[in-house]
Structure 1
Amino acid sequence: MSSAAKAKRIVVCGGNGFLGSRICKAAVSRGWDVTSISRSGEPHWASVTSSPTAPAWSHKVTWSRADIFRPAQYVPLLAGADYVVHSMGILLEADYKGVLSGRESPLAGLRKAFASQPARTNPNPLAQGAVIEPPAQSQQQLTYEMVNRDSAILLAKESARAGASAFGYVSAVGGTAVLPARYITTKREAEEVIAREFRGMRSVFYRAPFMYDSSRALTMPMAALTGASHIANGLTMGVIGRIMGTAAVAKPLKADLVAEAVVEALEDGNVSGPVEPAQLEELASKSWRKSMA
């Protein structure tokens, strides 16, 4: 990069998470100015990497604290951002404090997740002056509608206002009999609204499959199982996929690979809309070839 060239600026909402932290790392490796937004600030490194010690690259990231549902806390951080990424999500809905204290059983959380209707409703995040209230601290109840859909639309709305050229949304590959239907439907609703309402801002929807990394031991056997299902599905000409769903047989991808694909797609002005797993691999490969040049 020449001394006259200005570094790209990226803001990652959820940058202290499993994938979000790797997106920050990939952006730092390109010399970008990186800001992470989360409620807790810097990651608890032992939960996202194989070491409790902060890696060297992390010192080049601005770890900011803000509530995604309270734009006033993070709008100043979006000023001058070229790219904004939403990398947040919940797999199962539950009253976590209730489970830990014994007030609610884990099965109750599963029932909420698989319910056909949301546990609570929220105002349209596109409405003028709309405020999507987060749950009370004493409750800690978050829903798919809030996290997967409303928070993403709200962030996209503020990113467009701030003049970001591209918005990245970490979605998910669709079609599985294992995950609750609302997990995917809320992701798709977010994609549809963002694409329709913010046409002046290029939007990229990363439909990631199951992601793994050796730093999270539990993900390794799960990735092996999913990988075996992917191979078996090919051998049976798609029979297993038709029974289990697309996501259940999608090839698992390493989290670092997905992160590389995220930043590559943001920088490539020709990439927009849904990005399926095969294209994620292509984008990551393109990124690594560029780094070797």
Structure 2
Amino acid sequence: MSASVPRLLVVGGNGFLGSAICRLAVGKGWDVSSMSSSGKPYATPAGHTPAWAPRVKWHAASAFSPDSYSTLIGESTAVVHTLGILLEDVGYKQSVKSGDVFGLVKSFASSLSGGDGNPLKSEEERKRGYEGMNKDSALTVLDTLISTTPPTSTQTRPFVYISAADAFRPVVPRRYIETKRQAEIEIMRKCDEHPEAGVRPTFIRPGLMYHPHIRPLTTLPAFLVDLSAKLSTASGLPNPFASKSPLHGALESLRTYPLHVDHVAAAVLKCIEEGRGGVVEVPEMRDWAGLGSKKKAEVGLQGQ
């Protein structure tokens, strides 16, 4: 990054992770903008506006309509894409926010019973589904960034995509993680094909994210997943399932530590500050948060 103040654009900045990124960024003195369909500033579950919120520029724009944010993205030196859905049932996010356990269970059941969905979806249905929210929206934003002229010819512009660890199956339909991985592949391809744009892609892959106050419904699942991950690590048992196995996602759910949403947000800013590209997994984010050391690869270390 240059010595000047970073100008950060957070796509979905009034959401769960997006708001945490905005809050930490303005705390660093960055120039922060958010774009979302509503354009409304972030508010707590109780409806309060936190003290940091007025320091963010809140914009109403659709990720699928480049004309609504092309100027905004052209003025940014870094872009973070946080849009995405875990379930295609539109009511699950509200259930999580309100702590409605029964509503959340209903949403999971609805998504699982829906299978892989209707391949003949309308354009609007696609935008609201896994393909639209997890993949197409990010690629449209990236295309818009690539089409703009960098502030300086030598400046590298980070594009951070919030992906996910493969740790939600079979509770969540496989299309969730498939669309995340498809987005990663397409983002990398587009950046490689347009080196003149100076865009550096970074893929953040958290598992379960929690916050005891903002998302109290996530606290108990986070505790249980954390406990299972510790037991799995302590056992030292190797993964007996191939990555393509239907059981792989279930096993990884038990082995992947949950992360506080602030730790994920801090990892995003660290990657931007330090010029880190590529994939960032849960062990690295835990290391950066001071929660434990990553296991060193044993291959080639025998006898040393």
Identity %: 35
- SS of 1:56 mapped into structure 2: coil
Distance in 1, matches of 2:212 and 2:236, equals: 31
Question: 1:54 deviation in Å?
Answer: 1.2
1:78 partner amino acid: I
Q: 2:280 aligns with which of 239, 252, 275?
A: 275
Tell me whether 1:255 sits opposite 2:269 in the alignment: no
1:274 partner amino acid: V
Q: 1:82 aligns with which of 59, 62, 77?
A: 77
| Alignment CA distance shift 1:68-1:239 (3 Å) | same
Residue in structure 1 matched with residue 206 of structure 2 by the alignment? 208
Distance in 1, matches of 2:210 and 2:60, equals: 26
Tell me whether 1:174 sits opposite 2:166 in the alignment: yes
Residue segments in structure 1 that go unaligned for 5+ positions in a row: 98-104, 123-132, 286-293
| Alignment CA distance shift 1:81-1:283 (3 Å) | farther
Distance in 1, matches of 2:255 and 2:235, equals: 12
Question: 1:64 deviation in Å?
Answer: 0.6
Distance in 2, matches of 1:159 and 1:174, equals: 28
Aligned positions of 1:154-193 closer than 5 A: 154-162=140-148, 163=150, 165-175=157-167, 176-193=169-186
Residue in structure 1 matched with residue 295 of structure 2 by the alignment? none
- SS of 1:168 mapped into structure 2: strand
Distance in 1, matches of 2:271 and 2:82, equals: 15
Distance in 1, matches of 2:229 and 2:7, equals: 37
Residue in structure 2 matched with residue 264 of structure 1 by the alignment? 270
Residue in structure 1 matched with residue 124 of structure 2 by the alignment? 134
TM-score (norm. length: structure 2): 0.76
Conserved 8 A contact 2:38-2:60: yes
Moved more, 252-261 or 73-82: 73-82
Residue in structure 2 matched with residue 7 of structure 1 by the alignment? 5
Q: How many pairs were matched up? A: 256
1:187 partner amino acid: K
| Alignment CA distance shift 1:52-1:272 (3 Å) | same
String of CA shifts for 1:149-190, please: whole Å, max 9, x gaps: 111111111112223711000000014332211110100000
Q: 1:28 aligns with which of 23, 26, 29?
A: 26
| Alignment CA distance shift 1:250-1:32 (3 Å) | same
String of CA shifts for 1:224-253, please: whole Å, max 9, x gaps: 011111012113324688552313421111
| Alignment CA distance shift 1:141-1:161 (3 Å) | closer
Distance in 2, matches of 1:195 and 1:206, equals: 13
Question: 1:52 deviation in Å?
Answer: 2.8
